[in-house]
Amino acid sequence: MTTTTTNLNATRMERLRQNDRLKTARRAHKLLEDKYDEMVHQFTILIKRNRNLRELVEKQLNQALQLFIAANTHMSTAAVDDAIANCHTTLTLNCTTQNIMGLTVPHINIADETTDHQITPLLTTPVNFDDSIRMLRQLTITLIELANIEKTCSMLADEIQKVRRRINSLEYNMIPDIQAKIKFITMKLDENQRETQIRVMKIKDMQNRTE
């Protein structure tokens, strides 16, 4: 880091201004660090939720496939096609947003309005088939929740990187630069004070000699 002092006025007023800048930069650094820590905490919670949802998706998918395979052994291809065509699921998605430490992320509320008659409208399907359809309905809901969480995690990760860069900029560039300027001004003021003292002493010495 190179500090530019060529056009810097070495005055007490400028030093006061730089001291105010330093206080502001340190305060901003502290606030950003607090924000960073809380965002990382929230990200850790979301990542854990993401992992749990992924595991649940795999579990529900395997269960649905096993049930469907078991049911398929007792049904013809035409019967399977006819049963699937008559199955319906009614989900209402309310897409809103939520705020995480100043970051606006999507939030999806899922309302399952599916009736048992919509899931298994035919009375001729085996129990395994009905259970597989119910499991697939739950899988659909879980996938929507997973997509929401993964999008939130992605946005939060990007924001965490931005905050980290701002913290580093303050910590390794702005604050050291201001400190260097304050040090330079102080050094110049001290030099000027010493020069003034020397001139005063010389003037007094000359006056004493002329008396």
Question: pLDDT averaged over the chain?
Answer: 87
- Percent of the residues in the chain that have a pLDDT greater than 70, as a whole number: 91
The Cα–Cα gap between 155 and 102 comes to: 12
The Cα–Cα gap between 162 and 35 comes to: 12
- Confidence band for 1, pLDDT divided at 50, 70 and 90: low
Q: What is the pLDDT of residues 54-69, one digit of tens each?
A: 999 999 999 999 988 8
Strands 91-100 vs 103-112: parallel, antiparallel or unpaired: antiparallel
Would you state the pLDDT for residue 202? 76
Domains of the chain with bracketed CATH? 12-205 (1.10.287.3240)
125 is written with which tokens? 């399907």
118 is written with which tokens? 């919509």
| CA quadruple 130, 132, 133, 138: dihedral, nearest 10 | 130
> Is a pLDDT exceeding 80 seen at residue 25?
yes
Report how far apart, in Å, the C-alpha atoms of 208 and of each of 172, 201, 211 are.
54, 10, 5
Of 1-5, 105-109, 158-162, the range with the lowest mean pLDDT is: 1-5
Q: What pTM was computed for the model?
A: 0.78
Would you state the pLDDT for residue 80? 76
Mean pLDDT of 172-188: 94
